[in-house]
Amino acid sequence: MPDKTRPYRIIISGGGTGGHIYPAVAIANQLKALNPETEILFVGAKGRMEMTRVPEAGYKIVGLWISGLQRRLTLDNLSFPLKVLSSVRASHQIIKEFKPDAVVGVGGYASGPLLYAATARKIPSLIQEQNSYAGITNKLLAKRVSKVCVAYPNMEAFFPAEKLVLTGNPVRNDIMDSHTKRQEALEHFGLTAAHKTILVIGGSLGARTINQSIAAGLAEIAAAGYQLIWQTGKSFFPEAQEAEKQYAGKGIKAFEFIKRMDLAYAAADVVISRAGALSISELCLAAKPAILVPSPNVAEDHQTKNAMALVQQEAALLVRDAEAKAEVVKAALQLAANEKEQQRLSINIQKLARPNAAADIVKELISLIK
């Protein structure tokens, strides 16, 4: 059992997208639940999403001057080696001052330099890999860290088998009990229980194809009498707001970003989502019938691999990004009208949930400290 008496000092590094940030916050919350005196410092990349999201969750964060390599030749690429050296040096300084008992890397730009510096100093360290296809930073660092916590089986292709622990992805606690919040959720979004609700989430930064598909299909959604909760991301939000005005009073609600995802899931009968690892973990815990539209713009097409892991278990439906404009609204309307299919998908997706992921990861972390 984890030692509840001793407060630890832990650094959690990484970010870039909600898929990295929210698991990191869930791990921090679990550490605090074991001992509120535990001190946690986040390390992120300057200018990235974690620099605002982590303080909103109540934690301190420091930023490194680091970014990823672009696939084409840019000025950023030319400064990349300098950024890496600068960030490794800054990471050594952060570690020297904070004196962590252990370090966790969740993926994203800042994870690399911080874990590199920590392992050079022989500090117990752990990677949490969210996807079914490992990112390049985590693959490189896996040789240096003590443990790798993964969300999917068969990850020996990327990591040393003896370091692997299958834990699942840690998810915010409030999503686990979202099924008890239906009435609160409908009131929060200004919706009614008399009509079914479709939830659209393109990931924390939005998804262009999904947004365009929904915008083109709004008339059909409204005509069928369905309500819509639509998270668009920043760039598409002005367009979605204009579209929303045309359907005033029809239960079409567009948001740049939804902070209360627990309530969004609680209100939803059917979900259209990208197939990011965190979204999938949340859908499993919320037990929602889902149509997954994997992003084609990710390394090694890993979102399709994430989605297929569910499709093969008959736990979700798949619409390819290239076919989304023609198919996704049609698929959502068919699913919203078919309660038997909703129930089948809901039962099957819930079987894949791992509600104890955060606790299991923290248990591994504390065993490394000891």
Which residue ranges make up the annotated binding site for UDP-N-acetyl-alpha-D-glucosamine?
17-19, 131, 172, 204, 258, 303
Per DSSP, the three-state class of 284 is: helix
Instruction: From 13, 4, 34, select the one nearest 100 (Cα to Cα).
Output: 13
What is the CA angle 158-159-165, rounded to 5? 125
Backbone φ and ψ of 272, nearest 5°: -105, 125
Per DSSP, the three-state class of 216 is: helix
Backbone φ and ψ of 266, nearest 5°: -60, -35
Q: Rounded to whole angstroms, how far apart are CA atoms 300 and 332?
A: 27
Residue located via tokens 């650094």: 11
Q: What is the largest CA-CA distance in the chain?
A: 62
Output Rg (C-alpha) for the chain, integer angstroms.
21
Instruction: From 203, 197, 73, 74, select the one nearest 131 (Cα to Cα).
Output: 203
Per DSSP, the three-state class of 165 is: strand
What letter does residue 70 receive in the DSSP assignment?
P
Mark the binding-site residues, compressed into ranges: 17-19, 131, 172, 204, 258, 303
Q: Rounded to whole angstroms, how far apart are CA atoms 114 and 92?
A: 8
Contact present, 82 and 64 (Cβ < 8 Å)? no
Instruction: From 43, 124, 122, 23, select the one nearest 366 (Cα to Cα).
Output: 124
